[in-house]
Chain A
Amino acid sequence: MNWFIKRIGQGLFTVFAVATLTFVLVRTMPGSPSQRLASQIREQQPNMSTQEINAMVAQRIGVDPDRPLHEAYIEYMVNLAQGNLGESINYQEPVFDIIARALPWTAFVMTISLLFVFVMGLGLGAVMAYREGSRFDVGSSLIAIFLSSVPYYVAAVILIYVLAIELSAFPLSGRYPSDVEPGFTLAFVGGALYHAVLPAASFVITSWGGFALGMRGNSIQVLGQDYIRVAKLRGLTDRRIALRYVGRNAVLPMWTSFLITIGFMFGSSIILEEIFSYRGIGYYMFDSIDNRDYPVMMGTFLVITICVIVAVLIADMTYGKIDPRVEAGGDNEAY
């Protein structure tokens, strides 16, 4: 229990640190967003007074350029704590609303891809380890190495070219078919899945290899351990040995990589969603960079961070289920 509290505290601290970072970037950088925004407004409405402009800037990005640093910081933090992420310059609506609409779609694609990456990577890695040295092992190792050296956006471009443009087997862009009403209907869910295939696939194809190679190495090492021999001598079923003895112990050292991959995937959604014009949170973040829409940029950055922290927390909790030593209050050495 103590351990969970520590984890949650760490997560909150990370949110706090990132919020502070966004504040520092927005407020203090030379040519910072608040200054640029102020001059932008001045250009559009030349007869506005400085105070009015500052008030507008404060409303838009939650940082008043006029106030002293510490006061502005406290106000910014209070705003964030209330879920007020400011107002988009480009869309003229609260950043919170934009993110609330986009986030479920990113979470949808990310969950599908994470599941596939883990299942494929760990499963194939384990099979490769069991057949070490066979033609299957050598072949899949080579494929795994090659596919890991393909950047996910390159895979995305190739998938679009082959499957969406040349073969027209999958949609080129969008989140769901345009002729279907959003709702919990079969057509809508099916259509959404159909549109998610290519973005998810470009991630899965390029990421499973790393996990497969890691799992292969760990499993081979575990297979050589004495306790596996003992388990075999005890007459345990192969299935039980494979899952409980080999699988479990081989997965444990890879936990840090899992956690990093979650963050990596959310980050990569920026590039992927832009390529597929998939209106998730990454799409809006990219869009905000193109338009210098700082409130959206900072808001999406903050929300992506929070998502990663929540996902890592969930993963950490399940870690206790795989490794009972952690819940028993042991040291949390997840390597």
Chain B
Amino acid sequence: MKRTDDDRATDGGTKPAADGGTGDVFAFEATEDVTTVQRYREFLHEAVYLPAREAWRDWRMKVGLFLIAGYLAMGLIAWISGSSFGIWEGVTIIEQPTSNQFGGFEYNNQPPFQSMEYPLGTDSTGRDILGGIVHATPDMLKMTFAGGVYVVVVATVVGTVAGYKGGRVDSVLTTISDVVMTIPGLPLVIVVATMIDPRNPWIIGPLLVVGWWAGLARTIRAQVLSIREHSYVEASRTMGITTPRIIQKDILPNLMPYIMVNFVMSARQVIFNGVGLYFLGILAHGSYSDNWGVMMQFAYTHASALLVPERAYQLLIPMAVIVGLSFGLILFSQGTDRLFNPRVRHRGSGETEEEGDDQVTTTIT
């Protein structure tokens, strides 16, 4: 395809020169420019704008995106507040919490909604809870993003190659996925985490979902098996287009919505595992504002928030924040239903009335 693309471009470009013989350099550049721009614009319209407009009709998508955007904004606030980069140097919106940051002991264990200084209250050593929540967000998002990307990339590569190639490649890859799938994820993560004691969120994220790709790879393989029988794929094959190219051009676009949903679901898994391990202190290097799980752990062990009802808020606030983020992610993934299924899409736009719903459904495990 690349060669044909280039051919077309040169064809279009050289034509004016061959026709008129004017040799106008500007005309040449202009045509080239327009085709590229047009191609991008068309691509954006087809691949981004139309699906986005479709998805936006779903209320779940709206609420989900709204929630996710809120967390991104929190991450941005924390980044700006902590950054010493350029003009952000002096700007601090919310301070990094420290012990007794408001003064003496009288500021310990202050309940929420009492003062504008600490809107969500303070913990048992006088740290601002809102500050902790906000400043834990960037690492949380990095971890989540890294884990999601890792799962999706590995699963897509393994799944498409296994499904498309078939034969021995398929049976080897499928056996590997089956083996990885049965190794219980959390114990493996815990064992590895205690051994190598990771600190970098970009490493912790993938580690938390280290075997999570296997199930997704199996499902993608099954989808590829059915897609590769379609006539347009067969046509590409007969034309002699190479396998990587067919996978990239004919097969992957069909899987994109599915991959996106699974990105979101593995992101949620990263959050669950990550917060859980910090909560139990297995990833035990956290300072207060490293992770919401650390905040839960401090509330649980240092403030005995469970046993003292007046301090329950110290535990409830980080928990609500975690639930909020994963609720947003799940709503988002449920909201992409429309993208999967042309039938639902048509029903949404009132073109045809047909029964039947989600063709591909995602199971949350």
- Could you list which residues of chain A lie within 8 angstroms of chain B, going by C-beta atoms? 10-11, 13-14, 17-18, 22, 25, 29, 32, 132, 145-146, 148-154, 157-158, 160-161, 165-166, 207, 209-211, 213-214, 216-218, 220-221, 223-224, 253-254, 256-257, 259-261, 263-264, 266-268, 270-271, 274, 285-286, 289, 292, 297-298, 300-301, 304-305, 308-309, 312, 333, 335
> What residues of B have a CB within 8 angstroms of the CB of A216 in the complex?
361
B319–A223 CB distance below 8 A: no
List the one stretch of B2-10, B139-147, B329-337 in contact with chain A.
B329-337
A161–B184 CB distance below 8 A: no
> What residues of A have a CB within 8 angstroms of the CB of B296 in the complex?
157
A211–B363 CB distance below 8 A: yes
Cβ of B135 within 8 Å of any chain A Cβ, yes or no, is no
A153–B186 CB distance below 8 A: no
- Could you list which residues of chain B lie within 8 angstroms of chain A, going by C-beta atoms? 60, 175, 178-179, 181-188, 190-192, 194-196, 215, 218-219, 222, 225, 268, 271-272, 275-276, 279-280, 282, 296, 300, 306-307, 309, 312, 315, 319, 322-323, 326-327, 329-331, 334, 354-359, 361-365
State the CA gap A265–B272 with chains docked (Å).
13
A29–B184 CB distance below 8 A: no
Main secondary structure of the interface of A (DSSP, over half): helix
> What residues of B have a CB within 8 angstroms of the CB of A292 in the complex?
194
Instruction: Tell whether A257 pairs with B306 under 8 Å between CB atoms, given A10-B179, A151-B276.
Output: no
State the CA gap A71–B312 with chains docked (Å).
55
State the CA gap A209–B361 with chains docked (Å).
13
Instruction: Tell whether A223 pairs with B306 under 8 Å between CB atoms, given A297-B191, A309-B182.
Output: no
Nearest 7 CB-CB pairings of A with B = A210-B364, A217-B361, A267-B186, A224-B356, A214-B363, A217-B358, A149-B327
B195–A25 CB distance below 8 A: yes
Q: How far is the CB of A256 from chain B (nearest CB, A)?
A: 6
B183–A14 CB distance below 8 A: yes
Instruction: Tell whether A261 pairs with B365 under 8 Å between CB atoms, given A146-B327, A220-B357, A312-B182.
Output: yes
Contact partner of A335 (CB less than 8 A), chosen from B179, B219, B306, B322, is B219
Contact partner of B218 (CB less than 8 A), chosen from A160, A207, A256, is A256
Main secondary structure of the interface of B (DSSP, over half): helix
Contact partner of A149 (CB less than 8 A), chosen from B60, B312, B329, B358, is B329
B330–A301 CB distance below 8 A: no
B357–A304 CB distance below 8 A: no
A145–B330 CB distance below 8 A: yes
Nearest A residue (CB) for B268: A149
Instruction: Tell whether A267 pairs with B306 under 8 Å between CB atoms, given A151-B276, A157-B319.
Output: no
B187–A301 CB distance below 8 A: yes
> What residues of B have a CB within 8 angstroms of the CB of A300 in the complex?
187
B179–A221 CB distance below 8 A: no
B184–A213 CB distance below 8 A: no
> What residues of A have a CB within 8 angstroms of the CB of B175 in the complex?
10, 13
A270–B365 CB distance below 8 A: no
- A/B interface sample: 22 pairs, CB < 8 A: A14-B178, A150-B323, A150-B326, A154-B323, A157-B306, A158-B319, A160-B306, A166-B309, A213-B361, A223-B356, A257-B363, A261-B365, A267-B188, A271-B186, A274-B280, A285-B190, A286-B280, A297-B194, A304-B184, A308-B184, A333-B225, A335-B219
State the CA gap A304–B187 with chains docked (Å).
8
Q: How far is the CB of A200 from chain B (nearest CB, A)?
A: 17
B194–A214 CB distance below 8 A: no
> What residues of B have a CB within 8 angstroms of the CB of A213 in the complex?
334, 361-364
Contact partner of B187 (CB less than 8 A), chosen from A17, A209, A270, is A270
State the CA gap A13–B172 with chains docked (Å).
13
> What residues of A have a CB within 8 angstroms of the CB of B330 in the complex?
145, 148-149
Nearest B residue (CB) for A220: B357
State the CA gap A160–B306 with chains docked (Å).
8
Q: How far is the CB of B236 from chain A (nearest CB, A)?
A: 24
Contact partner of A289 (CB less than 8 A), chosen from B194, B268, B355, B362, is B194
Contact partner of A148 (CB less than 8 A), chosen from B60, B354, B364, is B364
